[in-house]
Structure 1
């Protein structure tokens, strides 16, 4: 299949079980229902970086693939580098995920190719997930009919988790890597480090590696020395 020729790999840890919905469970529930085939056939997710858009797209792809389904995950940057031909020949899929729609270049040929793709996917019954930092109406599109296709399904605004829930996500990340992250370490990271979840989870991974290398427990003084 064509997706085998594209340099895209899904993260193994992206699942619905590892996604923390915070106070907005409807978004992930809708995406999971789509992936199971008993919900909407198209969903558009949007929100700032770190709110979990890509995680949900990848989780849906993993779920469909685990059941033997055919999937494709395409970030807009890859489409821009590959040209309109990257959007051809996907009608035999069970699920397609298009990420980073806000990075889709304003190019008439690419927009027409995307417009045609969305029409073909709908006619073939392919489930479709789209994600972007911007809502469909805020995208700088030059093809008006393309915007209407992006609105064929529900548009869901995802919010980044608040600080109350972030320690739970970091602790869960640590448990998946095989260690316990003390609550006081989570709170220290929130006070003294970048607060967006992607950055925080990278720190958790660094702490795990540094702890194993030094054979030291992860404590606040250990974290302070490492980050300094």
Structure 2
């Protein structure tokens, strides 16, 4: 008889403690300081390839700022158009600015000016350096006003270690060899890998078997899960 898996997944962690620093120590420390209210450059732009952790860092910055009593918000511009409701935050993080339409670019230009004039913080993220973004020239200039950090990809070994740590946090015991195989043969995005590991854990529970490499291969050959 198959064991029915319970849906006991934990929400995706987005704290600083859950971020794999790798080559991004300078950006990590700068954002952590801003979240703690330490005076410094209040305009920060992160750029890098998909899956390197830009969104994670933005969310971690906002969560830490909120925990410290700051009025802060994470705003995903790819899902919610920027408008006047984005004004007034002590710390505002705006993600996916590279996809802004004309109205969104005007809104972000005004936000950056307003945040700087008020001595508040704005952290933004996109896929390319400011000068290479397909945005208005005055906006790309504003994005490059402050600190600009390229968020680089961690080493595969570090990804495998973090993936195992996240699995254990979810109550899933997984062999290190499985995590290494997933990192080298599947998506290189930690978010995608974590969701895949959730699926594999459910398959192991349903089959009443440990989460081993043979089971992983069988599950992946069977196609996408529900």
Q: TM-score, normalised by structure 2?
A: 0.85
Query: Is 1:133–2:127 an aligned residue pair?
Result: yes
- 3-state SS in 2 of match to 1:98: strand
Answer 1 or 2: higher relative contact order, Cα 8 Å, separation at least 6: 2
Quote how far apart the aligned CAs of 1:66 are. 1.4
Quote how far apart the aligned CAs of 1:145 are. 2.2
- 3-state SS in 2 of match to 1:92: coil
Structure 1 unaligned blocks of 5 or more: 1-10
Alignment deviations for residues 108-158 of structure 1 (CA, whole Å, 9 cap, x no partner): x4322221121111122221110111111111123x322221122110001
Counterparts in 2 of 1:192 and 1:116: CA distance versus 1, 3 Å? closer
Counterparts in 2 of 1:78 and 1:200: CA distance versus 1, 3 Å? closer
RMSD: 1.8
- 3-state SS in 2 of match to 1:131: strand
Larger mean Cα displacement after TM superposition, 198-207 or 47-56: 198-207
Count, aligned residues:
210
Q: 1:103 aligns with which of 63, 76, 99?
A: 99
Distance 2:163 2:79 in 1: 30
- Is the 1:71–1:96 Cα contact (8 Å) retained in structure 2? yes
Aligned equivalent of 2:211: 218
Distance 1:227 1:172 in 2: 22
Alignment deviations for residues 20-63 of structure 1 (CA, whole Å, 9 cap, x no partner): 11133212111111111114312100000010000000011111
Aligned equivalent of 2:6: none
Aligned equivalent of 1:164: 157
Aligned equivalent of 2:143: 150
Query: Is 1:175–2:168 an aligned residue pair?
Result: yes
Larger mean Cα displacement after TM superposition, 209-218 or 114-123: 209-218
- Spell out the pairing of 1:9-158 with structure 2 (5 A cutoff): 13-38=13-38, 39-79=40-80, 82=81, 86-105=82-101, 107=102, 109-142=103-136, 144-158=137-151
Aligned equivalent of 1:3: none
- Is the 1:33–1:40 Cα contact (8 Å) retained in structure 2? no
Q: TM-score, normalised by structure 1?
A: 0.84
- Is the 1:87–1:117 Cα contact (8 Å) retained in structure 2? no
Quote how far apart the aligned CAs of 1:89 are. 4.4
Distance 1:114 1:191 in 2: 38
- Is the 1:21–1:28 Cα contact (8 Å) retained in structure 2? yes
